[in-house]
Structure formats: structure tokens, C-alpha cells
Amino acid sequence: MRHSRPIVCAAVALATASTVLATPAVAAPAGENYVALGDSYASGVGTREYFGDSGDCLRSPKAYPQLWADSHHVADFAFAACSGAVTDDVNTQQLGRLNAGTTLVTVSIGGNDIGFADVVTKCLLGTDAGCDSAVGGGEEKARKELPGKLDATYANIRRAAPNAKVVVIGYPRLNELGACSVPGYSERKRKRLNAGADLLAGVISERANAAGFTYADTRDAFAGHGVCSSNEWINGPSNPLVESFHPDIDGHAQAYLPTLNGIINRP
């Protein structure tokens, strides 16, 4: 009887060990396989800091795709966005980074298809009437040409990444109204550009929803921080010129990133 306690203890230990061995290990959750597509608003033009190997694509460590990848559990990240890209560039040069294992895609595209840079330049340097005409031309392209281009691009994304959550990142309004220190950049011009941005947002959100994608509207996130505000998150006329009218470091960290977080973390 003196040995009964050790025998019982040994039996309990053996049973416990058997239970532990029989319980399957719980694997750590797999990280996202994330691919970022799009144009300069996705690559991070405006942040003034770029990866040396990104060349003319000007991909930035301060751009929202890189910030999101750095702050989340990501198994693989492909940063394919490129400055100056139009929908054709996404289709021919960026979709190769997608596959059936891709779980998350972000894409910002369409602004260059309607002549973003040319429109802004004409508004900045020309007359109020010239700005109105330039924006009107961009809006015409947004209504008549862009929907078909977006539909084709979104369909190609879905085919290349059939299992991914796709988030379409919208463009902000560029400007704040009221007093402005930029010479010749009248309130009428700023209103007209903002109205064009609203029309573009409507077109992109409609086509994203039709594709079954999630649209991320960034306009409210940038509100109060456009060009001519006292706390700009979008660069005004800049040197070098390419930085102009693009979100800066704060725009990516304080507007884009929280907007994307709110969508990805949504139940």
C-alpha cells in the first residue's frame, strides 16, 4: 500500500501525456497574401521617399500598401502599383503578381485614364473657364469610357485572384475652399476639380460594387486636409513637379491606412 500513491500519480501523468499527445496542434493563422495594384496614388508618389529598385514606378515605404503590410500579419506582399499607370497597364503589367493563393488585393486606378495630370495642370495654370472645360472633358471620359475599362480590369483581377478579397481604393477630393496662397488657384477652380472627383468616385464605386468588390471611399478621411488647408495631407504645387497634387506621408498614414483598416477589419 505504501506504493499506491506513486502508482496513481504515474497513471495520472501517463493519462495527461496521452491526452496532450492525442490533441492536434492548432496551427497559427496564415497571414494574408497581399497584392497592391494601381497608379501613383497607390505607389506613394507625394511621400518623397521611394524604394531604390522601384525606378519610375516610385513605390514608397510610406505608401498605404506598404504601411498596411508592415502593420499586419502578411505571409507575402507584392507591391505592383506604378506611377502613371492606366487600366491597360494594370492588365498587362501588374496582374501577373496575382494567383489563386492571393487573399487580399487593393487597387487604385482610373484617374490617369481620364487625364488627371493634364486636367490639374490646365486648372492650375489656365483660366477659370479653361479649368471648367478641362474638368468637363475628364468627366466625359469618366462617364463614357472609364466604366468599360474598369469592368474589364476588375474581371481580370477576379480571374487572376479568384479567392481574394478585393478593395478598390477611391481618390480624395484635392482641395479645400476659402483662402489659398497658391497664385491663380481660384476657389472656382478648386470647386470644379472637387466636383470632378465626386463624379469619378461615383463611377468607380458603381463599377466596383457591380464586380462584387468593396469600395473604399477616402473623401471623408481627407476632408479638411486638401490643398490650401492649414494642415495639408495632399501636396500643392511642388518641386519636383511629380509630387504635386498627391497625398503626402500624412495622407497615407492618417487617411488611407485607417480607411483600409476599417474595411479589412470589418466583420
- Reported as a single tens digit per residue, the pLDDT across 91-107 is 999 999 999 999 999 99
3 is catalytic: no
Catalytic site includes residue 246? yes
- Which DSSP string do the residues of 71-89 spell out, in sequence order? TS-EEEEEE---TT--HHH
Convert the pLDDT of each residue in 174-187 to its tens digit: 999 999 999 999 99
- Say how many C-beta atoms besides its own lie within 10 A of residue 130's C-beta: 13
Given the residues 40, 60, 83, 244, the one annotated as active site = 40
- Which pLDDT score, from 0 to 100, does residue 266 have? 61
Give the CATH architecture of domain 28-264.
Answer: 3-Layer(aba) Sandwich (3.40)
| Residue for grid cell 502613371 | 84
Say whether pLDDT at 198 is over 90. Answer: yes
Give me the catalytic one of 43, 83, 229, 246: 246
Question: b or e along 144-169 (b: 16 or more beta carbons within 10 Å of the residue's beta carbon)?
Answer: eebbebbeebbebbbebbeebbbbbb
Strands (E), the chain: 32-38, 74-79, 104-108, 165-169, 214-216
Q: What angle do CA 253, 79, 86 make, to 5 degrees?
A: 95
Q: Which residue has the cell 503590410?
A: 69
Phi, psi at residue 78, to the nearest 5°?
-115, 115
Domain boundaries, the chain: 28-264
Band (63; pLDDT cuts 50, 70, 90): very high
Residue 60 has a pLDDT of 98
Q: What is the mean predicted confidence (pLDDT) over 212-222?
A: 98
pLDDT digits (tens, 9 = 90+) for 161-171: 999 999 999 99
Which whole number is the average pLDDT over 46-59?
A: 98
